[in-house]
Amino acid sequence: MSDSHTIRSEMRREILVFAFAPALILGLILLSWGLAQWEIGPVYLNAFLALAAVLLGGIPRFMTGFKDAFRRRITVNVFVTVAIAATIAIGEFRPAAIIILIMSVVGALESYALDKTRRSIRALLDLAPQTATVSRNGGEVTVLVTELHAGDLIMVRPGERIPVDGTVISGASSVNQAPITGESMSVEKLPGCPVFSGTLNESGRLEIKTERVGDSTTLARIVHLVQEAQGARAPIQNLADRFTTWFLPTVVVLAIVAYFVTGDVKAAVSVLLVACPCAFAIATPTAVTAGISNMAKRAILIKGGMFLELAHKIDHLLVDKTGTFTFGKPKVMDIISFSDRSTDDILHLACIAEKYSEHPLGRAILAAGTGQSIPDPDHFKSAAGMGVEATWGAIRIRVGKPSFFQVAGLRLTPHVEQAIAQQSEQGRTAVLVAYHDEVVGLLAIADEIRPEMPATILALRGMGVKRITMLTGDNPQVAAAVARVIGVDDFEAELLPEQKQAFVKKCQAQGQVVGMIGDGVNDAPALAQADVGIAMGAAGTDVAIETADVTLMNDNISGVADFMWMSRKVLRRIKLNIFFSMIYNVIGLTLSVVGLMTPILAVIFQEAGCVTVVVSSTLLLWSKGRTGKL
């Protein structure tokens, strides 16, 4: 049975207690004011109604309490079982029924609050359509999504939601994928682009090749991870367990003291009832659940409460360069002319030579020439890892590394060599362009740094991060240039995946709490080793979602600062909740020991603490981020 069904079943069971509520509540009011004696028929009928209400609302708690006691575990349910048993033992049937009623009402309220924290996440599943238009037997038919298989071609019209994870085969459109990545702007989708189940196709018709359906889609895995995380315990919750273990014997002693001080067994029972540490027990899980749900709405998935608790303690943050500090795609950053040719002419010549190239630098050059009409070269030849040579009409064009030209016997002038050195100092790759046997220009290519990085670094330092180190497989010269622009403390260059993991271990051995941010593929060992592993831009990446403790479903590293901010906020809220629960217990126990509490007033006071904690935690759902935005 799903979590939602379980919660709703509990709510229905507890609300059934209201079948006995009107007469019990009316009788309680009359008895409290001394205006009447509640007698409905024979005494045994009154006892039967009261005991029926106790059993109906209390059996689940009693069974759990007995099981916990049998396992020698002192829990909240053991408290409830002992307190209710004591109340019935002294013949207070109607107060016992009222107590169960109040507990059931509060239990239903807690279940509702918990359900509300999960409702927005479960609602994501409703975004995925139940049917799809699929191409079969030369035509288009509508089938249930459950009947789709990997490789099926489906058609999605404007205004429809995409039912599967897949790749665009044909068509072009703007897709709103906020439920997956949290991006506020629609994303242009062209052939070859990935798409995700539950996202909205806004403008054009798309033909999509199915890759994942049902529970294997990114959307379904997001929901599963969040629900799993909400059930995970934070380390601070162990404090509640230890507290409960020694608290019950202490309360039993206080109950005996209350009996001898007042001479009234009801005072002793009141001590047991008011001391139930329900509020203390839910202080941590309710706050953690609300915090995880809040972050999920921001496309930040947290796998468990322990990572939410650890985040604010991170003092050394390790960050992979490619795809994290940078976009992970080479881009032409500058064009330099060594002749009377314009930079546009130089780019045009380079695009002609690279038109058939599959090299990433070649694709970056062609991307820079988007908008130009690029003719096909007549002949094309590639020297692996060096460059390309092409002819277009009577023109011979070479594009490649400086060594490519030196091997070909072309002379590099001091002016050209100086330009190459200047680009290298900036961490850029110099690609030369030759017209016949003359070097006429240079294209400076680099992995573009994300423009928001300097501001994000400041935000991370504001969250308490003492040191930020960039890890990369690039050469030290490129690493130094990027580190200088971004403003990190230091960097480690030319690292293999296992060396990144070793560096994490080294930092941990020095007593540091280490956070690691990476793309979740070659950084997987380091992500797994870190105290908190954070995968960035991991929509649809199995390795990232499985390996990391936290997953940023978009490409915005500022989400790490939001995660650390929420960690601080949740920890403060847990402490506040514990403070509330302790205050209620201290005041309630004091009044009970001196005989100023009846059993019913005791349970009302105790449950008021639970309501306070639930409301306090639920407010985290609507907490605005560190930037003041939901």
Cβ contacts of 461 within 8 Å, gap of 6 or more: 468
Domain stop point among 432, 448, 464: 448
Q: What is the CA radius of gyration of the chain?
A: 33
Q: What is the pLDDT of residue 133?
A: 92
What is the SS3 assignment for 465?
coil
What is the SS3 assignment for 557?
coil
Q: Which domain holds residue 383?
A: 328-448
Give yes or no: residues 236 and 342 share one domain: no
Residue 32 has pLDDT above 70, yes or no: no
CA distance 102 to 272: 16
Domain stop point among 448, 483, 505: 448
More confident residue, 600 or 461: 461
Q: Quick: pLDDT tens for 97-139.
A: 766 766 666 666 556 655 655 555 555 556 678 899 998 887 8
Give yes or no: residues 84 and 231 share one domain: yes
Evaluate whether residue 316 is within a structural domain: no
Neighbours of 205 (CB within 10 A): 14
Confidence of residue 225 (pLDDT cuts 50, 70, 90): low
Evaluate whether residue 545 is within a structural domain: no
CA distance 144 to 121: 23
Tell which residue, 420, 191, 184, has the closest CA to residue 297: 184
Confidence of residue 337 (pLDDT cuts 50, 70, 90): very high
Give yes or no: residues 111 and 257 share one domain: yes
CA distance 208 to 265: 74
Give yes or no: residues 340 and 411 share one domain: yes
CATH number, domain containing residue 356: 3.40.1110.10
Task: With beta carbons less than 8 A apart as the criterion, state whether 536 and 519 touch.
Answer: yes
Q: What is the pLDDT of residue 185?
A: 58
Give yes or no: residues 239 and 108 share one domain: yes
Evaluate whether residue 390 is within a structural domain: yes
State the average pLDDT over residues 488-498: 85
Counting beta carbons within 10 angstroms of the beta carbon of residue 387, is it exposed (0 to 12), middle (13 to 18) or buried (19 or more)? Answer: buried
Q: What is the pLDDT of residue 167?
A: 94
Alpha-carbon distance values, 509 to 466, 470, 531 (Å): 17, 19, 12
Confidence of residue 377 (pLDDT cuts 50, 70, 90): very high
State how many domains the chain has: 3
Kindly provide the b/e burial profile for residues 500-527, where b requires at least 16 CB atoms within 10 angstroms of the residue's own CB. bbebbeebeeeebbbbbbbbbbbbbbbb
Give yes or no: residues 351 and 397 share one domain: yes
Please state at what angle helix 76-89 crosses helix 93-122, rounded to 10 degrees.
Answer: 160
Give yes or no: residues 101 and 151 share one domain: no
Give yes or no: residues 424 and 571 share one domain: no
Supply the residues annotated as catalytic. Answer: 320
Give yes or no: residues 201 and 162 share one domain: yes
Q: Quick: pLDDT tens for 293-335.
A: 888 888 888 887 788 888 989 999 999 887 788 887 788 999 9
CA distance 553 to 277: 38
What is the SS3 assignment for 548?
coil
State the average pLDDT over residues 60-81: 74
Give yes or no: residues 265 and 405 share one domain: no
CA distance 153 to 326: 34
Domain stop point among 216, 241, 275: 216
Residue 441 has pLDDT above 90, yes or no: yes
Comparing 102-111, 152-161, 473-482, 543-552, the range with the smallest average pLDDT is 102-111
Q: What is the pLDDT of residue 29?
A: 41
